[in-house]
Amino acid sequence: MAEAKILWVDDEIELLKPHILFLKGKGYEVESCNNGFDAVEMARSTHYDLIILDPPAFAKHRDAVKNALRGYQRLNAKGIQSIRPGGILFTFSCSQAIDKDMFRLAVFSAAAQVGRKVRILHQLHQPADHPINIYHPEGEYLKGLVLQVE
């Protein structure tokens, strides 16, 4: 069996080098980049078994929501399109102006756009050390989905 191919996109990819080296040491082929635009280019010619999309905040205020949702949709469409059938996609948002329903809709729209079915395996949210103040709901800014792409 061929080794699994992983694409890891994170705006702080340098901090993740130990994890990447660990995966490579276990026999995985790992490609990484620190922005979504490079990831889109990398994914044009390769199909991956696992993709991790963790871009920077696309919307830091309400005025940026429309463009941010287009960005999440575009990035996730390319990720979904570039994964092998049965592959796993981890996708995240840390934009406080994008709530979890908006993010899910952008990701599901991306799947529909490229004609692939996705199943939610797990929904992720911020850990206990990032509490949410009831008077500041935007504090619930970390969100993620683990998807299986058919």
Amino acid at 37: F
Contact 75, 95 (CB under 8 A): no
Q: What is the residue whose two structure tokens read 């635009």?
A: 37
* 33 classed as catalytic: no
Catalytic residue chosen out of the listed positions 6, 69, 89, 94: 94
120 backbone dihedrals φ, ψ, rounded to 5°: -80, 120
Return d(Cα 89, Cα 102) in angstroms, integer.
18
| Catalytic (active-site) positions | 94
